Structure formats: structure tokens, C-alpha cells
Amino acid sequence: MKFVLDTNTAIYLLGGKLAAPLPAGHYGLSVISEIELLSYPSLSMEEEGVIRTFLTSVQCLPLGAVPSRYVGQIA
């Protein structure tokens, strides 16, 4: 894994609203971001399906797995 996405970046990616494409690489997402993505109150079943499909394409990281000193910023 080369990059760890935060929740907002994942939302913009899923919504097709990123200002620029993400660089090629392997991505991870914290379990907190996974919970945040799936807990939106008015999430439709279709949106949940899109999120769950996305989650199969990234590595889900448990709490404490990503020390901040290793997380890079994507600009």
C-alpha cells in the first residue's frame, strides 16, 4: 500500500468530484473511514453497493495500523 485515503477524499473519488485523478498505486482506508462512509443516514442501497464495491478495491486498515508519520498527503 502506498497511499491512505481519508474519508473526504474517498467521498470525492466515489462522487467523481476529485480536482485531479489520484496517482496510480495501492490505496488503503482506515476502519474509521469505512464506518463513516457506510453510516451516512440517508444512504441509498445503490450508494451502499458502490461504497462496498470500492471497499473491496482498497486495503482496510484497523485502528492503530497507520502511524501518522507514514501517511503522505496527496495534493
- Over the stretch 2-49, which tens digit does the pLDDT of each residue have? 788 999 999 999 999 999 999 888 899 989 999 999 998 999 999 999
> Does residue 34 lie in a domain region?
yes
> Does residue 75 lie in a domain region?
no
> Does residue 61 lie in a domain region?
yes
Residue range(s) defining the domain that contains residue 45 = 3-70
pLDDT for residue 2: 76
Report the sign of the C-alpha dihedral through residues 12, 62, 73, 1, in that order.
negative
CATH number for the domain that contains residue 32: 3.40.50.1010
Q: How many domains does the chain have?
A: 1
pLDDT for residue 65: 63
Asked whether the beta carbons of 55 and 33 are under 8 A apart, the reply is no
Neighbours of 65 (CB within 10 A): 14
Q: Smallest Cα–Cα separation from 23: which of 33, 13, 11?
A: 13
pTM of this prediction? Answer: 0.78
> Does residue 30 lie in a domain region?
yes
> Does residue 42 lie in a domain region?
yes
| 3-5 vs 59-61, strand pairing mode | unpaired
